[in-house]
A and B are shown apart, each in its own frame.
Chain A
Amino acid sequence: MGIYLLVALRNLLQARRRTFLLGAALSMVAALLVFLLALAQGLSDNMVRYATTVASGHVNVGGFYKLSPGDVAPLLQDASKVREIVRKEVPEAMTIVDRLHGWAKLVSESGSMWTSPTGIDPAEEGQLLSMLELAEERSYRAGGGDARPGDFSKLAEPGHIILFASQAKKLEVGVGDAITVVAETERGATNSADFIVAAVAEDMGMMTQWTAFVTKQALIDIYRTDADTTSKVLVYLDDIGRTDEVLARLQKVLPSYGYTILDHQAAPFWQKIEQLPNEDWTGLRLDLTTWEDEASFLEWVLTAFDGISFFLIAVLLLVIVIGIVNTMFMTVRERTGEVGTLRAIGMGRRRVLAMFLTEALLLGLAASTLGGLVGAALASGLDAAALTIDSDAARMVLLSDTIHLSASARHVLAAVAIFTVVTGLSALYPALRAARMRPVTAIQHVS
């Protein structure tokens, strides 16, 4: 084997210009592949981060209450009872919290916007509050500086609200400013409450513009619901991989406690609010979901991104394959005499085939390793720079207000494996042509 490598290396070095050009092309495409994989992973990380902090637990027990068939509210009565059942049936739960969701208009002196205020208990939501980052003032206020004013812990004080940067920007408010929340109670009466902005958090993608945090009690006061009412009980597990198992268990046991459960649907609760008025039932029904269900509407972003990446890489690979085949044919043609001589002194066809394939594989391995490492380094550098995304549309698609890429050894190994195999396969036909040459013909070719 060593001799093949030596011969391959010698041949690659002999044709330096050709090797360099083909290797550079392979490296660039490999670097691009690793970069795109890192970007896709970053997108996926953002989605998981959003889904498992702002939007959902690993498993959720939500409730929908219908006063009449057309009036749906995300309300779950007797929240403490449901929490108790969940605690008993899911002993492996790391944390169990519950949140109350509303739909309200936030009004400031300068503007207004619809959003879903989420009522939380700050005392038990340390995990959520620790995941939020205070936003730089300049990200939401014209002329603002690098300072990150605000204090998430102030949410515990009555009359305070946490906004996200995109909301603060639209409403033209900052920490300490007042806003009014206008909502309708379950029975349709208009209500309002005034809040002071306790903190402005960094955006976590497109969905955080439709989420704001207040205390559960504040939301109960606005909606005039019973004190023991919530919207969703969120279950966080030690092992996120056990999500489906826990969901299946709860689906099985909750009916035995007298609850009616909606058919499982991989959609967030707010999409179901639009669908459920078309069903004729009234009263309470439970809705069991996983974090993936609650973030399912974001999958199109990943699917679209993967599709575009696949198309781009496929086109570039095709160009590379054509280049390799052409180069290998040229190599075989140039070395026809050498092949004839080797065959004449007793080298078998398989060995000739192996000689040319080794050359191609060596080139593919070296170029893709270099390209993969460059791509990973570029991705890591950009991630560390945490470049701010100015475009709202890009923020929505990338699910973050900074560019996040997550390169890993897995991505580099995948790129190396793909490009080495593709290079080897591309060289197969020219190598076979070389191996099939008759020694006499090959030597005569030289003459």
Chain B
Amino acid sequence: MRKSIFLAAALAVVLPGTAAALEPAQVQALLAEQDQRMRQTGDYEARVFIERKEKDKNDQVYEAVVYRRDETDKLVILFLAPKEEAGKGYLRIDKSLFFYDPTVGKWERKTERERIAGTDSRRQDFDESRLAEEYDGKWLGDVKLGRFEAHHLELRAKKGVDVAYPVLQLWIDKENHNLLKRQEFALSGRLMRTQYIPKWVKLWSASKNDHVWVPKEQRIFDEVEKGNSTTIVIRSVNLEPVSDALFTKAWLESKAR
């Protein structure tokens, strides 16, 4: 809570509400605010639906339940649907990501960059936001995005930090500071994905003693393979503590059975 008040105060000082250019420090404060808004210090549980649309292919819909304990960097993703994916799951413990496939009954260690269930979504899409920690931001201008006035920012990955996209562009609502749009660029400078976040939900977290902002819907458009897109919908978010037993291989295996 104290951190949020500090950030709000800092932003009040650095964002005087005019169309003036934002200084790098102001941009960094804005990024820190984004991270802070989404950060949950306690546990996190959500039901996630991933819809994958690919050109010339049938649409695929996945349903999963996600458990997170950001304090210890633990993460569990358990797939519930479709039938052939049900029971498969990911578990992150001590910076190692493991995948369990009940059809073979084996655990495999996966790279942190694993594409979740073969879709365009990655572990990061379900994890906490670390924009200020991973990127240096630059203000590009204030623009109109539909009916919203937005800060248009460019973020470049900090030296030595490993991220999937080394360059990002963000559009942040000037009024309520919701992240509206995000574009991700490759090292070559090519635009790879455009993400729209049309719905945010604000939930009270007792452990944080503040609100947590959750992107209720994310629409990700593939800019290289035009026509491909992924929609991630987050429902039934619960910020109450969950059992320690959830973050174990035994729990995932028992759910697979």
Contact = CB atoms under 8 A, between A and B. Distances in A.
B112 A188 contact: yes
Contacts of A274: 108
A219 to B, nearest CB: 14
Which of A68, A184, A189 is most buried by chain B, counting CB atoms within 10 A of its CB? A189
Nearest to B113: A188
Given A71-B111, A112-B225, A191 B55 contact: no
Nearest to A73: B111
A71 B187 contact: no
A107 interface: yes
B202 interface: no
Q: Is the interface of B mostly helix, strand, loop or mixed?
A: loop
Interface residues of B, number: 26
B224 interface: yes
Interface residues of A, number: 23
Contacts of B190: 180, 192
B184 A190 contact: yes
Contacts of A395: none
A386 interface: no
A185 B186 CA distance: 10
B200 interface: no
Given A69-B96, A111-B55, A184 B113 contact: yes
B188 A193 contact: yes
Contacts of B164: 184, 188-190
A71 B188 CA distance: 23
A193 B187 CA distance: 10
Given A111-B55, A185-B187, A187-B162, A192 B224 contact: yes
A190 B115 CA distance: 13
A72 B163 CA distance: 17
A278 interface: yes
A70 B111 contact: yes
B163 A71 contact: no
B168 to A, nearest CB: 11
Contacts of B108: 274, 277-278
30 contacts: A68-B112, A69-B96, A69-B109, A70-B96, A70-B109, A70-B110, A71-B112, A72-B111, A107-B224, A107-B225, A111-B55, A111-B225, A112-B224, A180-B190, A184-B164, A185-B187, A188-B111, A188-B112, A189-B164, A189-B165, A189-B166, A190-B164, A190-B166, A190-B184, A190-B186, A191-B186, A192-B186, A192-B188, A274-B108, A277-B110
Interface of B: 55-56, 95-97, 107-113, 157, 162-166, 184, 186-188, 190, 192, 224-225
Interface of A: 68-72, 107, 111-112, 180, 182, 184-185, 187-193, 224, 274, 277-278
Which 4 A-B pairs give the minimum distances between C-beta atoms?
A277-B109, A191-B187, A192-B186, A70-B109
